[in-house]
Chains A and B, each alone.
Chain A
Amino acid sequence: MAFIFRLPDIGEGLEEAEIVEWFVAIGDEVLRDQPLVEVLTDKASSELPSPVAGTVLLLGADEGTRLQVGEVLIEIDDGSTAPKVASEPLSTQTSPTKSQPPTPLPEVAPLTARPKAAPATRRLALDLGVDLTTMIGTGPGGRITVNDVHAAAPASTSTGGLSNDDSTASDGLGQAAAGRHALRGIRGVVARNMTQAWTEIPHIHTMDEVDASLLIDFRDRIRDMDRSGATRVSVLVVAAVATARALRRFPVVNGHVDGHPGDAMVIPEHIHLGIATATKRGLVVPVVHHADTLDLFTMADRISSVVGAARSDDLSAADLSGATFTITNYGSLGGRFATPIIPPGQGAILGLGAVAERPVAIDGEVVARPTLPMVLGADHRLIDGDLAEAFRRAVADDLAEPLHLLIGS
């Protein structure tokens, strides 16, 4: 008979997890405590070990799909005669699932006509003008949840902002079936962050084009060098080095406003660059830490390594945290100017457009030159136009004449 292992709540009050990778297949023999699967929850990615030894009979979900806590994760023939199940211990018994709770709590007739809802849910209902007495909740035993209240509210209070800098070059771009889809995983994180940034941060943008003739020549000559990592040096890498130099010169641009509506200015001790990266799963911003201490080749290595890891979904949480400033190279997807949104917890963002030959006026003559469009988005609570422009120009000067990189900032 099968031992049924249901997805446990391995955090405190988790509702679901994504199946990242199965380490076993149907028919495999497994030992007790052998890792079966890696799951990704709201909190962390974790390996779940087998509660029993036996033969795998069934995998409850495909990789990349999500399971509710309490749904069947795996069935293992452990040679026992009665079906057993590893369920949750008393202390963490919370398994609100919309679809088929596995060990259903008893259907209990309410002793009174009072709607079942937590005080915070009642308060929300009051605020949104929702009458709870007419509702049947989707929580355990008909309990009314916050989501139920939002769904019943006259005007939906859910947020689902899509930003303009998260387009991906992946397969299936822009594809989805008709209907309403919950924003989950990275999509949900992007939605929340962008909504927060867009509503809290008063953005200003300053933009210009840099004559990139010397920059392209510089990059090409470095790439021709017989030196490991040379081929990884790109416009983005040079721009990252120039940005780190400029951030050291203007620490306020490396800072951010803390609290809402803005109680304090925080200036970090270090310079950590976020590199906005389009992946199949959505926008990911891996971080190059201590960017101001890296030379050109090390910067090339680090960017190539974190961007590669982001694309293969191989980043640790540390690789994703701590950015003090972000660069978005939207130009790699084409496009001249954009108005990138500053990630929450930062004060500015640099956008790089596509390098292309464009008409430039030099000494009264219009000539064709490669130009690099660049945009600085800044939090106006922290950064006025003069500082934004001074910072953007500091980066631009280094890019227009990369020999500046040899000179101490």
Chain B
Amino acid sequence: MTRPSDEQLRAILVDMVGARAQAGRLWNLQRQGQIGTLAPIDGHEAVVAATAHALDPASDWILPQYREPLALQRFGPEVLDQYMLYNIGHPDGSRLPPSVRVAPLQISLATQIPHAVGLAWGMTLRHQPGVTTVFFGDGSSSEGDFHEAVNLAGVLRAPVILLCVNNQWAISTPLHQQTAAESLADRAVGYGIPGVRIDGNDAAAVFDAVDEARQLALGGGGPTLIEANVYRLGAHTTADDPTRYVPAEDLRAARTNDPVHRLVSHLADLGLWDDGAQAEIEAAALVRIDEAFERAMARPLAADAVFDHCFLTDTPRIARQRATLLAAGPHGHSISPRSTDE
């Protein structure tokens, strides 16, 4: 059992509070038409930030799903830059960043799990230290990719931490319609690997579970399936209206267990946190996201970049479309997210 130190807990909370503040700004940017559809992090802050702090950014990999980046600050500022590029629809947002060990987002459910197992197995074959942690949701745990990848991970004893963030909702499908199982962690038994179920709103519990899984993986003990229970505190995405299906009383109850409020209250009791500190941290986080947004908007983008990343050489249809777009003249450049009017 590895309890995070008070200093570690405070560092985790700094990232959580920053993520929460940035999530508000991100939502506004979307509502202002400046960025595309995105999945808010609200309710996932503790499980993501505490996981990042239990890992070593110099040797360990994180493969996110699509809700995590704002709380992955510990792995480097490039994570936020990549995320903002992604959010404005720039193809560079989907590249593997050269300098940080955080993969691009995956929108196709569960596809990152086989990637993670492959990456972890590759690290073993190359005798590289470190573990791979992959985030996915309760909905993804019903996908074939999950079962195939976790089974293979067990067979290979791949150094991978399978982190299922169970936020009780797969878009509008509640957990009880997702599975008849009492716990998603129980599935680990069938793959011959350890499975643990933790309170994902408890940053210390997350840190402890991830640390233990990491030590096991580093020692050659193979994968661990962690089910971290949280509650999605907002919309599934900016294109979703959860008031249509999330019972108001359930959401109210979940808000009393808000991971940010819990850790704030714990650290405030220890005299390690106060409103002034929080305001400063929020302000700094907002500056960081504004700057990352500005950098993303300033990133050059070829008018025909949209055609660049599907095929090595253009198919006849793509070639025709690329030529048509380029022939369109100056308007062809008006794709830039912040274009001047007319």
Residues of A within 8 A of B (CB): 4-12, 33, 43-44, 46-51, 82-93, 102-106, 108, 111, 316-318, 321
Residue of A84, A87, A316 with highest tally of chain B CB at under 10 A: A87
Q: How many pairs, one residue from A and one from B, have CB atoms within 8 Å of each other in the complex?
A: 113
A102 cross-chain contacts in B, Cβ below 8 A: 341
- Interface flag for B308 (CB, 8 Å): no
Closest B residue to A32 by CB, please name it. Answer: B28
A318: chain B residues within 8 A (beta carbon): 243-244, 247-248
Closest 6 CB pairs of A and B: A8-B33, A90-B89, A91-B89, A44-B241, A106-B328, A91-B36
Contact with A along B234-267 (1 / 0, CB 8 A): 0000111101110110000000000000000000
Tell me, rounded to whole Å, the shortest Cβ–Cβ distance linking A244 to chain B: 20
Q: Do most interface residues of chain A lie in helix, strand or loop, or is the interface mixed?
A: loop
Q: Are A47 and B340 in touch, CB under 8 angstroms?
A: no
Q: Is B331 in the interface zone, CB < 8 Å from A? A: yes
Q: How far is the CA of A91 from the CA of B323 in the complex (A)?
A: 21
Give min CB distance, A246 to chain B, whole Å.
Answer: 26
From 9 to 39 in chain B, residues with beta carbon under 8 angstroms from any chain A beta carbon are 25, 28, 30-37
CB-CB < 8 A to B244: which residues of A?
A: 44, 317-318, 321
Assess the B33–A88 pair: CB atoms within 8 A.
yes
Cβ proximity bits B312-329 to A, threshold 8 Å, 1 near / 0 not:
000000001001100111
Tally chain B residues at the interface, Cβ within 8 Å.
41
Contact B340 A86 (CB under 8 A): no
Query: Can you list 19 A-B contacts with CB-CB less than 8 angstroms, sorted by A residue number?
Result: A5-B33, A11-B37, A44-B244, A48-B32, A85-B340, A86-B338, A88-B33, A89-B35, A89-B88, A90-B335, A90-B337, A91-B37, A93-B89, A93-B335, A102-B341, A103-B339, A103-B342, A111-B323, A321-B245
Which of B241, B324, B329 makes the CB contact (< 8 A) with A111?
A: B324
Identify which of B238, B320, B332, B338 contacts A87 (C-beta below 8 A): B338
Closest to B331 in A: A106
Chain A residues contacting B334 (CB-CB under 8 Å) are: 103
Contact A87 B337 (CB under 8 A): yes
- Closest A residue by C-beta to B334: A103
Neighbouring B residues of A48 by C-beta, 8 Å: 31-32
Assembled-state Cα–Cα distance A155/B243 (Å): 40
Closest beta carbon of chain B to A117's beta carbon, Å: 16
Cβ of A85 and Cβ of B339 under 8 Å apart?
A: yes
Known: A89-B36, A90-B337, A317-B243. 10 other contacts (CB 8 A): A10-B30, A46-B31, A48-B31, A85-B339, A86-B33, A87-B337, A89-B33, A92-B89, A106-B329, A111-B324
A7, B28: Cα distance in complex, Å: 14
In the complex, what distance in Å separates the CA atom of A271 from the CA atom of B338?
51
The answer to whether the Cβ of B90 comes within 8 Å of any Cβ in the partner chain is yes
**Which of B31, B34, B238 has the most CB atoms of chain A within a 10 A radius of its CB?**
B31
